[in-house]
C-alpha cells in the first residue's frame, strides 16, 4: 500500500485537529482536538519510519504516546479544577484575563 | 494488510448480527405508550430532573482515569522490553528497574496522599 | 478436487479466503452457542450449589432455556427513555457486542489441521501482537458500557457505567502487568507463539503470581461476581443497562458472556498451555496434533467458566472501596515487583549465574518476602483502621434537618418520649465536605 | 599616557562625594550639602590642574589614559582631552559648585524654589538624593567630555539622562514629571539612533583594514587617511544617527520642544546644568564626532544643518520675546544661542569652530547666571511670570545690577564674554556661508529685544506691590553669582585664556573635512540615491 | 502490513544483536541531579510529615540546584561531544545555558520559597484542588497547609529546561519540552490569591502550550520524513542527521520547509514571539508572581537554547529559507510587544509585553548562524533573565490589604517615597530593560544589535531602536508613578521580605549593574561558550 495515503490521512487529521482547536469552545473538546493532532503526528512518524525502513520513527511514536498521556493527566487536572470552579468548561467563559 | 482480512470478516458477521438484533428488537416488540414507562428509572419515584449525562461526576473517577493512563503507559514500555528482554541483558534490566522505580515513586506519592482511597 | 458444497462457488475465489470465511463463521457460531450454553451452564451450576434444580423444562435438561429467553426478549417492547441521547443509546449495545466477538479472533484453538485438504491453524488470525490486539479490542467494549450508561440519561446507569469503567481500567493495569511476565518468558506477543513456548512447561507454575493476578483481574474485567459492582442489583438496579430492554439488553448480556469466554480463553492460552494436552494425556504423542487439541482447549475453557460460576455461587460482592483498594494497592504493586523479580531471575539464568539448584531456594525466599510484604501491608492497614479513633458522633437529634430521622450508629434514641427539642434543630453541624477528618488528613 | 591619571581623578572626585553622601546616616542628611560642595570644589581644583598640565603647544590629545574595558568589543576606558574638551571640562567644573551652592535649599521641607505654596503632599524631598545626583551628574558630564572612546562616550552620554531625569522629576515644579518624561524620551530616542550609528560605525570599522575599534583617535585618523571608507549611503545614515542625537541634545529646531518644559519645571540649579552643560554635549558631539568621523556626510548635510540652525536661531529668539515665564524665556534664548553655535560648527572655518567652542563656554556661564538670577527672583516672589515683577532695581539694586550685567553678556555686548564668541562665529560663517551669517546676525537684534524688554518689565518702573520687601542678594547668593559675573567680564577681555587651548584643537577640522571631500569617494556619486537628504 | 511492534521486536531479537548504548552519566550529571532531586521531592511529599515538608523541599531544591551548578562547572572543560547515543550534545553552549538556567532558577527559588510576605504562607494555594471560596478551601487555609509540591514541580521543570537546549535530537527535545512545560502549567494555576484568574491562566497556558507542542511534533515528523533521522546532526555517514540531509538535499524541499515552519511555530511559542505570544500576558498575570518570574526568565532561556540548536545545528544549511521568516518574526515581536505594552495599566501585564518585546531583540541574534550572533545571545539571556526575576520579585512585595498583590500601576503611586528601596530596585531593573547604559541589558542589546548589523540586517536594528524608544516610555511610566507622584492614602503596604528574598533582589540588582559596568568577564565567557557540537 502506498505510504503517501497515510501521510495524507495524517495531514488531514492534523488539520482537523488544528481547526477544532481554533473553532471549538469547550475546553475538553479543544483538548481532544490537540490529542488528535498528536496522533496525526504519530501516524506520520510511523509512516515515515516505514518509508525509511528505520525504527526511530516508531520510537518517537512511543514517546509521543507517553507525552500525550502526561498531557492528558495535567490537562484533565487543570480543566476539572476550572470546571469545578466555574461549572463550565467553555473557553469563552474563562474571560477574566481578556485583554 | 491480508492479515486483517479475517478479523474484518468476523467483524462484518458480528456487526450484521448485532445490527440485525437491534433493528429486529425494535420491530418485533409491542409498542404501548406510557409516559411513566419512558421516564428514567429511579426506583419508582419521580425522577430528579437533570441534564443528559447526569451533570458532574465525582472527581475520583477522573483521578482513577489519570492513574490508569500513567500505568498503561508504563505497560506500553514494558511490553516491548519484555519481548526483547533476552537480547537486552543487564542493560535492559537496569534501565527498566530505574523506570519502574520512577513510576513507583509517583505511585507511592499518590498512595500516601490518599489518591487511592475511595471514600 | 470437487466438492458438493464448494462446487457452487466461483472457482476464482482463493482458498485462503474460503478458509477465512469458514473460520470466521465458525468462530462466530462457537461464541453464540457457547453463550447460550454458558447461560444455561451457570444457572444449572448455581442452582446445584444452592440446592435448587434450575432451568430444566425447555429442551433436554433445560438446554434450550437460553434460546427461549432470547426469543422472549425479542418479543418485548424496546423502550427508549425520553431522557436518553437517542443515537448513542442505539450505538452503545453495538459497541459493546461487536468488539466482544472480535476479541476471540487471535486465540489459537488448536494447531494446524487439514480442512478440505488445506492446512490451516485453528486460529482465525495469527497476529504477532495478538495479546495487544485483545487488550485493545476489549477496551473498546468499555466505551459501549460507558456510553450506554451516559446516554440513558438516568442516575443509576450513569453511576453503573462510571463504576464499570473505573473498575475495568483499574484491573486492566494489573492484567496488563501480569502479561508482561509471560512475554518475557515467551519472547513474543503472538498467542500461538506463547502456546508454542509452553511446550516444556505451562506458565501457571513458572509464573504462579502472574497467573493468579491475571485470574483475579479477569474476574474484575468482566464485571463478574464477586466484582460485579457496576451491576450491583442491590445498589444500582442493574447498573449501566438499567434502561435497556428487549434485544438491546440481550446484546449487553451476550457481550458479557462472550467476554467471559474471551478472558477464559486468554487465561488458557497464556498460562495453561493453550490447546496443549495436560500432563498425563500429553504422554500420548498424538495428543497435540490433529483436532484433539481443540478438545483440550474446550475442556480447559469450560473449567474456567466453571470457576467463574463457582465464584459467583460462593462469594459475596465486595464493597466498592475495598474492591478499588485491592486493585490499586495490592494487585498493581505486587505485579510490578513480581515482574522485576521474574526479570531478575530470567537475566540471572541467561547470564548463566543461576542454576536450577539455586533457583528454588531463591525463589522460595523471594516468594516469602513477597508474602510478608503483602501481609505487612494488610496488617498495617488494619492497624491504622483500628488506631483511628471512632468518629465522634453528634448527639442524636430526632428532627435533624426538619425530618424525623432514626439514630445513626453510635447514637441512641432517647429512652423516654419527651418534648422534641425544636430549638436545637437549627444548629445541626455541617459534615466535613472532603470527608476526611483533620487527623487523618494530617498524616497524608 | 601620562604618569598621573589627571582626568580620571577629576572625573572620579565627585563620585567619591556620591559615595560619602550615600553612607551618611539619615539623621545627618544635612551634611550632604557641604560634602557635595567640597567634592565639587576639589574637582574644580583638579580641573584647573588638568589645564595646567595641558601643554598648549603639545599634541592635540593629552593627559590620555586607556584601560581595556570590554575587550570583546574592543572597548576601552580611554580618556584624553584636547583644547575643546578641556575648556568644557573647566566650564563644568566651575558651574557645578555654583549650582550646588545655589541649590542649597532646594530640597528643604517647604519645597524648592518653584513651589512656594508648598502643598502639603509635596512634603519631604531627599537632601542626600539631590546632592548625590548633582555630583553623579558632574562625574558623567566630566566623563563625557573626556571620553575618547566612542562607546564610552555613548554610554556616558546616555547615562547622563538618568540623574538629570530624576533631578527634574523629583525636585522640579508642578508639571515636573511630564517635563522629565519628555526630556528623557526625546533624548533617549536620539540616543538610541546614535546607538545604532555607533554600532554601524563599529561594524564598518570591523570590515576595514583598521580593524574593529572604538577609539576616536584611531577612527578619525583612519577616516582622514582613507583607510576607513564607508559606502556613501552608510556614512550618511551613520552621520544622521549621530547628528539627530546631538541635535536633540543641543536643542535644535525641530527637536527642541523638550527644553522649555524641562528648563521651566526643573529647579534653577538643574536648569543650569541642563542648558549650560548637558546641551553642550550636543554641539560638542557635532564638532568632534560628526565632522571628524563623517566628513563627506558632514559636507553633504551642511546646507541642511545650516538651515535648521538658522531657523533655530531666529525661532528661538522670536519665541523668547513672546514668553511670560522667565525660565521658558531663558530656555528659548538658549535655543537661539545653540543655533548660532551650530552655525559656527558647521561653518567649517577655523574661526567658526573656535567661535563655536568659545560660545559653548560663554553661553554656559551667562545662561547659567541668568537661570540662577531668575531662580533668586522666583524664590522671593514665588512666581515665574515676568508680569509678577516690576521695579526690582529699587528694592534690590544688587540683584538688578548683576542681572543687567549677565543679560548684556547674553546679548553679546562687546567687552563681555559672549561678544567675542558670537563675533567669531558670525565672521567664520560669513567666510563660507554669508546667507546663514546674515540671518544669524538678526538674532543679535532680537536678543537685545528680549533681554532688554525683560529687564525693563521686571527691574524698572514702579515697584510692584508684590515686590515690596524684596531682599537683596544674600551672601550665599553673592557667592553663587559673583564668580560667574567675574568670569564673564574676564573672558570678555581676555578670551585668549581659552582660545589658546581651543585653537590648535579645531584648526585642522575644516581642513580635515575639506581634504577628505576630494577623496576619490565623492559625495556626488550617491547624491542620486540620497537626494532626499538635503531637503531644500 | 505487519505490525509496528512485530517489526521492532524482530529487529531487536533476531536480526541485529542488541548492543547496549553507552550512557555518559557524568556528562549528563546536571540534569540527572536535578531530576533525581525532583523525584526525591516527590518522595518527601509522600513520606515526610506535613510540618517538615517545606523545609525539606526548599533545602532539597536549593541543594540540588547548587550541586547541578557545581556539576556544570566541573564539566566546563570537557571537549565538545555528544552523549547518550547522540541524544544530548554536551558542548560549551549547552553548559553555558545550563549554568545560566541553574543560577537564575536558584534565585527564583529563593523568591518562590518566600513565606514572610504572607505571614507564614507562601504564594501558592493551600490546596490546589479545592474550589475557590469553598468551605474546603477555607479549612485548608485555616489548617495552614502549603502546596509544597511546587518545589518538585519546579525542579522537574528545571530538569526539562536543562535538557531542552542540550537536546541533539528532536525526540529528546520534544520530551524536554514537555518535561519543562507540564509542571509549569500546573504551578501556574496554584496562586493563593485570585485563584480563578490563576486557574484560567493555567488553562490557557495549557491549551495553547499543548497546541504549540503538537505543531512542534508534527514539524519533527515532517523533518524526520525529510531526513530519515531525528538527530539534528550526526557525522556518521551511515546514519546521517538532519543537518547532513539538508546539506545533501535529501528529498524534495516541501517536507523540509513545512517541517521548519511547524517546528519553528512550536519553539517560537515557548519564547513568546509574535504572532505566538497571545498566552504570555494572561499567563504572566494569572500565575503566582514568583512563578511568573521564574518561568519568564528560565523558560525563555531554555527555549532560545533549543531554537539556537535547531537553527544553527540542524537547519544551518537552509538558513536562506528561514532567515527571512525569523526577521519578520523579530520585527513583529518587537512591534507587537512594544505597542501593546503601552496600553497596559497592570505591572505584571506590562512586564509580560516587555518580555515579548525583549524576545524580539533576542530573536534578532538568530538571523545569523555565526559565532558572534550566538555569543551575543548567550550574553543577553542571563542578564535579561536575572533582571526579570528581580523585577517580578519586587512585584511580590507590593501588597494591598488582604495580602493580594497590588499589580495595578496606579496603586504603585508614590512608592519611591513610601518604600524607597524596592522602588529603587525596580527602577534599576526597568532602566535596564530600557537599555540605559551601565546596566547589563544595555551591553546585551549592544551585542545583539551589533550581531544583527554585522549579519546584514540593519532594518532589524532600526526597528529595535524604535521599539526601544517606545519601550522606554512604558518603563518610565512606572518610574514616574513611583517617584514623581504622591502616595495614596490607602496605598499598598510593602512586605518586609525574608533574608532570602533580600539576597535574591540584591544579587539581581547587583548583577544587573555590575554586568553593565564591567561586562568583560561575562562577554568573554559567552564568547568562549559559543561553540556548538555540530
Mean pLDDT of all residues belonging to chain D: 81
Residues 246-305 of E with CB under 8 A from A: 281-282, 285-286
Nearest-CA distance from E371 to chain A in Å? Answer: 32
Residues 41-80 of A with CB under 8 A from B: 62, 65-66, 69, 72-73, 76-77, 80
- Cα D118 to Cα D111, D170, D269: the distances in Å are 6, 14, 19
The C-alpha atoms of residue D112 and residue C252 are separated, in whole angstroms, by: 91
Question: What are the cell numbers at E171?
Answer: 525526540
D441 domain residue, yes or no: yes
Reported as half-sphere exposure (CB side, CA atoms, 13 A), residue E364 has a value of 36
Smallest Cβ distance to E43: which of B90, B92, B105?
Answer: B105
What's the confidence (pLDDT) of residue E176? 94
Nearest-CA distance from C52 to chain E in Å? Answer: 51
Per the listing, cell 505486587 goes with C334
pLDDT 10s digits, C23-39 = 888 889 989 998 989 99
Query: Which residues of B are less than 8 Å from A83 in CB distance?
Result: 56
CB C237 to CB B43 under 8 A?
Answer: yes
Query: Which residues of E are less than 8 Å from C106 in CB distance?
Result: none
pLDDT 10s digits, D348-362 = 888 888 888 888 888
Per the listing, cell 525532583 goes with E38
D534 domain residue, yes or no: no
What's the confidence (pLDDT) of residue E430? 92
What's the confidence (pLDDT) of residue D529? 41
The C-alpha atoms of residue C374 and residue C387 are separated, in whole angstroms, by: 20
Reported as half-sphere exposure (CB side, CA atoms, 13 A), residue D350 has a value of 8
CB C432 to CB E9 under 8 A?
Answer: no
What's the confidence (pLDDT) of residue C9? 52
What's the confidence (pLDDT) of residue A93? 58
Residues 24-83 of B with CB under 8 A from E: 59, 79-80, 83
Number of C-beta neighbours around residue C371 at 10 A: 10
Q: Does the pLDDT value for residue C236 go beyond 70?
A: no
- Cα B55 to Cα B49, C81, C158, E67, E199: the distances in Å are 11, 18, 10, 50, 21
Residues 49-78 of B with CB under 8 A from C: 50, 52-54, 57-58, 60-61, 64-65, 67-68, 71-72, 75, 78
The C-alpha atoms of residue E93 and residue E100 are separated, in whole angstroms, by: 10
Q: What ipTM does this complex have? A: 0.82
Question: What are the cell numbers at C85?
Answer: 441521547
Greatest mean pLDDT among C130-134, D508-512, D514-518: C130-134
Q: Does the pLDDT value for residue C440 go beyond 50?
A: no
Verify A-B touch: 3 or more CB pairs within 8 A.
Answer: yes
Terminal-residue alpha carbon distance, chain A: 50
The C-alpha atoms of residue A77 and residue A70 are separated, in whole angstroms, by: 11
Class of CATH domain A5-86: mainly alpha
Nearest-CA distance from A31 to chain E in Å? Answer: 7
Is residue E79 packed enough to be buried (19+ CB in 10 Å), middle (13-18) or exposed (0-12)?
A: exposed
The C-alpha atoms of residue E366 and residue E330 are separated, in whole angstroms, by: 9
Nearest-CA distance from B69 to chain C in Å? Answer: 9
pLDDT 10s digits, D303-348 = 888 889 889 888 888 888 888 888 888 888 888 888 888 888 888 8
D273 domain residue, yes or no: yes
What's the confidence (pLDDT) of residue E69? 95
Question: What are the cell numbers at D126?
Answer: 531627599
CB B89 to CB E45 under 8 A?
Answer: no
Domain that holds residue D456: 6-529
Determine the distance from the C-alpha atom of residue C261 to the mean position of all C-alpha atoms in its chain, rounded to a whole number: 10
Smallest Cβ distance to C127: which of E3, E135, E143?
Answer: E3
Class of CATH domain B2-112: mainly alpha
- Beta pairing partners, E89: E82
Q: Which of E479, E477, E164, E117 is CA-nearest to residue E290?
A: E117
Q: Which of D321, D459, D283, D479 is CA-nearest to residue D388?
A: D459
- Label each residue of E124-193 as H, E or C: ECCCCCCCCCCHHHHHHHHCCCCCCCHHHHHHHHHHHHHHHHHECEHHHHHHHHHHHHHHHHHHHCCECC
D266 by DSSP, 3-state: which?
coil
For residues C139-164, give the mean pLDDT: 83
Strands D75-81, D62-70: pairing kind = antiparallel
pLDDT 10s digits, D422-460 = 888 888 888 888 888 888 888 888 888 888 888 888 887
Is residue C22 packed enough to be buried (19+ CB in 10 Å), middle (13-18) or exposed (0-12)?
A: middle
Asked if C432 is an interface residue toward chain E (Cβ–Cβ < 8 A), one would say yes
For residues B54-70, give the mean pLDDT: 77
Nearest-CA distance from B112 to chain E in Å? Answer: 5
Nearest-CA distance from D191 to chain E in Å? Answer: 9
Task: Place D209 in a pLDDT band, splitting at 50, 70 and 90.
Answer: confident
Residues 406-435 of E with CB under 8 A from D: 417, 431, 434-435
For chain E, 534 residues long, give each residue's pLDDT as a single digit of tens. Answer: 333 333 333 344 444 567 777 788 888 999 999 999 999 999 998 888 888 888 899 999 999 999 999 999 999 888 888 888 888 989 889 999 999 999 999 999 999 988 877 766 777 887 777 777 777 788 888 877 888 889 999 999 999 999 999 999 899 999 999 999 999 999 998 888 888 888 888 999 999 999 999 999 999 999 998 888 888 888 888 888 888 888 887 667 888 889 999 999 999 998 888 888 888 988 998 899 999 999 999 999 999 999 999 998 888 888 888 899 999 999 999 999 999 988 888 888 999 999 999 999 999 988 888 888 899 999 999 999 999 999 999 998 888 877 788 888 888 888 888 888 889 899 999 999 988 888 899 999 888 988 888 888 888 988 998 898 888 888 888 888 888 887 777 778 888 888 889 999 999 999 999 998 888 888 889 888 888 887
- Label each residue of B36-105 as H, E or C: HHHCCCCCCCCCCCCCCCCCCCCHHHHHHHHHHHHHHHHHHHHHHHHHCHHHHHHHHHHHHHHHHHHHHH
Angle between helices E289-308 and E279-286 (to 10 degrees): 140
The C-alpha atoms of residue C200 and residue E61 are separated, in whole angstroms, by: 53
CB A84 to CB B73 under 8 A?
Answer: no
Per the listing, cell 528505520 goes with A54
Give every CB contact of residue E304 below 8 A, 6+ residues apart in sequence.
Answer: E165, E271, E362, E377, E381
- Cα E63 to Cα D162, D368, E68, E108, E149: the distances in Å are 39, 59, 8, 14, 17
For residues C206-233, give the mean pLDDT: 82
Q: Which helix (H) or strand (E) holds C122?
A: strand C118-122
Instruction: Give the start-to-end residue ranges of the domains of chain B.
Output: 2-112
Amino acid at each position: 500500500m502506498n505510504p503517501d495515503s497515510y501521510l495524507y490521512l495524517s495531514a488531514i487529521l492534523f488539520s482537523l485537529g488544528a481547526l477544532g482547536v481554533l473553532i471549538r469552545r469547550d475546553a475538553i473538546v479543544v483538548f481532544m482536538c490537540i490529542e488528535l493532532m498528536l496522533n496525526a503526528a504519530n501516524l506520520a512518524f510511523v509512516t515515515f519510519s516505514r518509508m525509511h525502513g528505520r525504527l526511530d520513527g516508531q520510537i518517537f511514536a512511543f514517546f509521543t504516546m507517553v507525552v500525550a498521556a502526561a498531557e492528558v493527566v495535567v490537562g484533565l487536572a487543570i480543566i476539572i479544577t476550572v470546571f469545578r470552579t466555574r461549572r463550565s468548561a467553555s473557553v469563552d467563559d474563562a474571560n477574566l484575563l481578556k485583554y | 494488510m491480508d492479515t486483517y482480512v479475517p478479523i474484518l470478516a468476523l467483524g462484518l458477521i458480528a456487526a450484521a448480527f448485532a445490527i440485525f438484533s437491534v433493528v429486529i428488537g425494535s420491530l418485533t416488540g409491542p409498542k404501548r405508550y406510557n409516559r411513566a414507562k419512558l421516564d428514567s428509572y429511579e426506583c419508582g419515584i419521580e425522577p430528579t430532573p437533570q441534564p443528559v449525562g447526569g451533570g458532574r461526576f465525582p472527581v475520583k473517577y477522573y483521578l482513577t482515569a489519570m492513574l490508569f493512563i500513567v500505568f498503561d503507559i508504563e505497560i506500553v514500555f514494558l511490553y516491548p522490553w519484555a519481548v526483547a528482554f533476552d537480547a537486552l541483558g543487564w542493560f535492559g534490566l537496569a534501565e527498566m528497574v530505574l523506570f519502574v522505580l520512577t513510576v513507583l515513586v509517583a505511585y507511592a506519592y499518590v498512595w500516601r496522599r490518599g489518591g487511592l482511597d475511595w471514600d | 478436487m470437487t466438492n458438493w458444497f464448494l462446487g457452487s462457488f466461483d472457482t476464482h475465489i482463493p482458498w485462503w479466503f474460503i478458509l477465512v470465511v469458514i473460520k470466521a463463521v465458525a468462530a462466530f457460531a462457537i461464541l453464540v452457542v457457547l453463550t447460550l450454553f454458558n447461560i444455561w451452564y451457570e444457572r444449572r451450576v448455581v442452582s446445584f450449589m444452592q440446592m435448587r434444580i434450575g432451568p430444566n423444562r425447555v429442551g433436554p435438561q433445560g438446554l434450550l432455556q437460553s434460546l427461549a429467553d432470547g426469543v422472549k426478549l425479542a418479543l418485548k417492547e424496546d423502550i427508549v427513555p425520553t431522557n436518553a441521547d437517542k443515537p448513542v443509546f442505539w450505538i452503545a449495545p453495538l459497541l459493546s457486542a461487536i468488539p466482544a466477538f472480535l476479541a476471540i479472533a487471535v486465540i489459537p484453538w488448536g494447531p494446524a489441521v487439514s480442512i478440505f485438504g488445506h492446512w490451516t491453524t485453528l486460529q482465525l488470525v495469527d497476529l504477532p501482537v495478538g495479546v495487544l490486539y485483545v487488550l485493545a479490542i476489549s477496551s473498546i467494549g468499555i466505551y459501549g458500557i460507558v456510553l450506554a450508561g451516559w446516554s440513558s440519561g438516568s442516575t443509576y446507569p450513569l453511576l453503573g457505567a462510571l463504576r464499570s469503567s473505573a473498575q475495568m481500567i483499574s484491573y486492566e493495569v494489573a492484567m496488563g502487568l501480569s502479561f508482561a511476565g509471560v512475554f518475557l518468558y515467551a519472547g513474543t506477543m503472538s498467542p500461538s507463539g506463547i502456546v508454542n513456548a509452553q511446550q516444556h512447561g505451562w506458565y501457571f507454575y513458572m509464573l504462579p503470581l502472574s497467573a493468579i493476578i491475571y485470574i483475579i483481574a479477569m474476574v474484575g474485567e468482566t464485571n463478574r461476581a464477586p466484582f460485579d459492582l457496576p451491576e450491583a442489583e442491590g445498589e444500582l438496579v442493574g447498573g449501566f443497562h438499567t434502561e435497556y430492554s428487549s434485544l438491546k439488553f440481550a446484546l449487553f448480556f451476550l457481550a458479557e458472556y462472550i467476554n467471559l469466554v474471551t478472558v477464559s480463553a486468554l487465561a488458557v492460552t497464556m498460562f495453561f498451555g493453550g490447546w496443549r494436552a495436560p500432563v498425563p494425556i500429553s504422554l500420548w504423542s498424538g495428543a497435540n496434533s490433529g483436532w484433539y487439541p481443540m478438545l483440550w482447549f474446550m475442556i480447559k475453557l469450560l473449567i474456567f467458566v466453571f470457576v467463574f460460576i463457582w465464584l459467583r455461587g460462593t462469594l459475596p460482592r465486595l464493597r466498592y472501596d475495598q474492591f478499588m483498594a485491592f486493585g490499586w494497592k495490592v494487585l498493581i504493586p505486587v505485579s510490578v515487583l513480581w515482574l522485576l523479580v521474574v526479570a531478575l531471575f530470567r537475566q540471572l539464568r541467561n547470564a548463566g549465574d543461576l542454576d536450577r539448584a539455586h533457583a528454588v531456594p531463591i525463589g522460595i525466599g523471594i516468594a516469602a518476602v513477597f508474602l510478608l510484604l503483602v501481609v505487612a501491608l494488610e496488617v498495617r492497614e488494619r492497624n491504622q483502621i483500628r488506631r483511628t479513633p471512632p468518629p465522634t458522633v453528634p448527639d442524636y437529634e430526632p428532627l435533624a434537618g426538619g425530618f424525623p430521622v432514626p439514630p445513626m450508629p453510635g447514637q441512641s434514641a432517647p429512652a423516654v418520649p419527651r418534648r422534641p427539642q425544636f430549638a436545637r434543630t437549627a444548629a445541626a453541624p455541617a459534615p466535613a465536605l472532603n470527608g476526611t477528618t483533620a487527623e487523618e488528613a494530617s498524616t497524608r | 599616557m601620562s604618569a598621573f591619571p589627571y582626568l580620571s581623578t577629576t572625573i572620579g572626585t565627585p563620585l567619591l562625594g556620591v559615595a560619602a553622601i550615600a553612607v551618611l546616616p539619615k539623621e545627618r542628611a544635612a551634611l550632604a550639602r557641604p560634602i557635595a560642595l567640597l567634592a565639587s570644589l576639589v574637582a574644580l581644583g583638579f580641573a584647573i590642574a588638568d589645564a595646567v598640565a595641558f601643554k598648549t603647544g603639545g599634541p592635540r590629545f593629552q593627559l590620555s589614559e586607556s584601560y581595556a574595558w570590554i575587550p570583546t568589543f574592543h572597548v576601552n576606558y580611554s580618556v584624553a582631552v584636547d583644547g575643546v574638551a578641556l575648556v568644557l571640562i573647566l566650564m563644568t567644573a566651575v558651574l557645578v559648585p555654583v549650582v550646588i551652592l545655589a541649590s542649597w535649599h532646594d530640597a528643604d521641607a517647604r519645597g524648592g524654589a518653584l513651589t512656594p505654596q508648598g502643598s502639603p503632599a509635596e512634603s519631604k524631598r531627599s537632601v542626600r538624593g539631590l546632592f548625590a545626583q548633582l555630583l553623579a551628574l558632574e562625574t558623567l558630564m566630566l566623563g563625557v567630555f573626556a571620553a575618547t572612546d566612542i562607546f564610552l562616550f555613548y554610554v556616558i552620554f546616555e547615562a547622563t539622562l538618568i540623574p538629570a531625569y530624576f533631578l527634574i522629576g523629583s525636585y522640579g515644579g508642578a508639571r515636573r514629571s511630564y517635563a522629565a518624561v519628555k526630556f528623557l524620551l526625546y533624548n533617549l530616542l536620539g540616543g538610541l539612533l546614535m546607538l545604532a550609528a555607533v554600532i554601524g560605525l563599529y561594524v564598518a570599522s570591523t570590515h576595514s583594514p583598521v580593524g574593529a575599534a572604538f577609539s576616536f583617535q584611531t577612527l578619525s585618523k583612519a577616516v582622514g587617511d582613507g583607510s576607513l571608507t564607508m559606502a556613501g549611503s552608510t556614512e550618511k545614515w551613520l552621520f544622521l544617527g549621530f547628528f539627530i542625537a546631538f541635535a536633540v541634545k543641543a536643542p535644535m529646531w525641530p527637536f527642541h520642544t523638550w527644553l522649555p518644559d524641562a528648563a521651566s519645571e526643573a529647579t534653577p540649579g538643574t536648569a543650569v546644568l541642563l542648558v549650560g552643560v548637558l546641551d553642550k554635549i550636543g554641539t560638542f558631539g557635532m564638532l568632534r564626532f560628526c565632522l571628524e568621523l563623517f566628513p563627506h556626510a558632514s559636507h553633504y548635510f551642511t546646507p541642511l544643518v545650516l538651515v535648521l540652525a538658522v531657523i533655530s536661531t531666529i525661532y528661538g529668539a522670536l519665541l523668547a520675546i513672546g514668553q511670560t515665564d522667565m525660565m521658558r524665556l531663558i530656555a528659548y534664548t538658549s535655543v537661539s544661542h545653540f543655533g548660532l553655535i551650530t552655525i559656527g560648527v558647521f561653518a567649517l572655518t577655523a574661526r567658526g569652530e573656535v567661535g563655536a567652542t568659545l560660545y559653548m563656554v560663554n553661553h554656559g556661564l551667562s545662561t547659567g547666571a541668568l537661570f540662577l538670577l531668575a531662580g533668586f527672583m522666583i524664590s522671593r516672589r514665588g512666581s515665574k511670570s515676568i508680569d509678577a515683577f516690576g521695579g526690582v532695581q529699587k528694592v534690590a539694586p544688587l540683584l538688578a545690577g548683576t542681572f543687567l550685567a549677565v543679560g548684556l553678556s547674553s546679548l553679546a555686548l562687546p567687552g563681555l564674554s559672549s561678544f567675542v564668541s558670537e563675533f567669531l562665529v558670525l565672521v567664520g560663517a560669513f567666510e563660507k556661508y554669508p546667507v546663514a551669517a546674515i540671518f544669524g546676525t538678526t538674532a543679535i537684534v532680537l536678543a537685545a529685544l528680549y533681554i532688554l524688554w525683560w529687564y525693563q518689565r521686571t527691574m524698572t518702573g514702579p515697584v510692584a506691590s508684590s515686590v515690596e520687601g524684596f531682599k537683596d542678594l544674600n551672601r550665599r547668593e553673592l557667592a553663587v553669582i559673583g564668580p560667574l559675573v567675574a568670569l564673564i567680564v574676564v573672558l570678555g577681555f581676555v578670551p585668549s585664556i581659552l582660545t589658546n587651548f581651543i585653537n590648535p584643537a579645531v584648526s585642522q577640522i575644516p581642513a580635515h573635512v575639506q581634504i577628505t571631500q576630494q577623496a576619490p569617494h565623492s559625495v556626488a556619486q550617491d547624491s542620486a540615491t540620497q537626494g532626499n537628504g538635503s531637503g531644500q | 502490513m505487519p505490525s509496528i511492534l512485530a517489526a521492532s521486536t524482530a529487529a531487536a531479537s533476531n536480526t541485529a544483536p542488541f548492543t547496549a548504548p553507552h550512557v555518559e552519566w557524568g556528562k549528563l550529571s546536571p540534569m540527572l541531579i536535578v531530576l533525581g532531586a525532583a523525584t526525591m521531592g516527590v518522595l518527601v511529599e509522600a513520606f515526610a510529615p506535613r510540618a517538615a515538608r517545606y523545609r525539606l523541599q526548599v533545602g532539597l531544591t536549593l541543594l540540588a540546584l547548587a550541586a547541578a551548578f557545581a556539576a556544570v562547572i566541573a564539566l566546563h572543560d570537557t571537549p565538545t561531544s555528544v552523549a547518550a547515543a547522540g541524544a544530548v550534545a554536551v558542548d560549551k553552549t549547552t553548559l553555558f545555558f545550563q549554568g545560566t538556567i541553574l543560577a537564575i532558577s536558584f534565585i527564583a527559588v529563593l523568591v518562590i520559597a518566600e513565606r514572610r510576605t504572607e505571614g507564614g504562607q507562601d504564594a501558592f494555594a493551600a490546596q490546589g484542588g479545592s474550589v475557590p471560596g469553598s468551605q474546603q478551601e477555607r479549612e485548608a487555609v485555616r489548617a495552614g497547609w502549603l502546596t509544597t509540591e511546587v518545589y518538585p514541580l519546579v525542579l522537574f521543570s528545571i530538569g526539562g529546561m536543562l535538557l531542552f537546549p542540550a537536546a541533539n535530537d528532536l525526540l529528546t527535545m520534544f520530551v524536554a519540552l514537555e518535561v519543562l512545560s507540564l509542571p509549569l502549567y500546573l504551578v501556574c494555576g496554584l496562586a493563593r490569591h485570585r485563584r480563578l484568574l490563576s486557574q484560567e491562566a493555567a488553562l490557557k497556558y495549557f491549551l495553547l502550550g499543548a497546541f504549540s507542542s503538537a505543531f512542534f511534533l508534527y514539524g519533527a515528523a515532517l523533518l524526520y520524513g525529510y531526513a530519515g533521522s531525528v538527530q539534528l546532526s550526526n557525522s556518521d555517514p551511515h546514519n546521517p542527521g538532519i543537518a547532513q540531509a539538508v546539506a545533501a538535499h535529501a528529498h524534495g524541499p516541501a517536507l523540509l520547509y513545512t517541517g521548519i515552519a511547524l517546528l519553528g511555530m512550536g519553539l517560537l511559542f515557548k519564547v513568546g514571539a509574535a504572532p505566538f505570544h497571545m498566552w504570555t500576558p494572561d499567563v504572566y498575570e494569572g500565575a503566582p508572581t514568583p512563578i511568573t518570574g521564574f518561568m519568564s526568565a528560565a523558560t525563555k532561556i531554555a527555549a532560545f537554547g533549543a531554537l539556537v540548536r535547531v537553527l544553527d545545528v540542524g537547519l544551518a544549511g537552509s538558513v536562506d529559507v528561514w532567515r527571512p521568516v525569523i526577521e519578520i518574526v523579530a520585527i513583529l515581536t518587537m512591534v507587537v510587544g512594544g505597542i501593546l505594552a503601552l496600553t497596559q495599566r497592570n505591572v505584571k501585564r506590562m512586564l509580560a509585553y516587555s518580555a515579548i518585546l525583549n524576545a524580539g531583540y533576542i530573536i534578532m541574534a538568530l538571523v545569523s548562524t555565526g559565532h558572534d550572533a550566538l555569543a551575543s545571545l548567550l550574553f543577553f539571556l542571563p542578564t535579561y533573565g536575572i533582571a526579570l526575576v528581580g523585577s517580578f520579585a519586587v512585584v511580590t512585595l507590593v501588597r494591598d490589604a488582604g495580602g493580594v498583590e497590588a499589580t495595578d500601576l496606579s496603586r504603585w503611586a508614590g512608592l519611591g517615597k513610601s518604600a524607597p528601596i524596592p522602588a529603587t530596585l525596580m527602577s534599576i531593573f526597568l532602566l535596564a530593560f530600557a537599555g540605559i547604559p551601565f546596566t547589563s541589558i544595555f551591553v546585551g542589546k549592544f551585542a545583539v544589535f551589533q550581531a544583527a548589523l554585522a549579519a546584514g540586517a540593519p532594518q532589524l536594528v532600526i526597528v529595535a531602536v524604535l521599539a526601544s524608544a517606545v519601550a522606554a516610555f512604558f518603563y518610565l511610566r512606572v518610574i514616574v508613578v513611583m517617584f514623581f507622584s504622591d502616595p495614596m492614602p490607602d496605598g499598598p503596604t510593602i512586605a518586609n521580605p525574608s533574608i532570602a528574598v533580600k539576597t535574591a533582589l540584591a544579587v539581581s540588582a547587583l548583577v544587573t549593574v555590575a554586568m553593565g559596568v564591567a561586562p568583560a568577564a561575562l562577554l568573554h565567557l559567552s564568547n568562549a561558550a559559543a561553540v556548538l557540537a555540530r
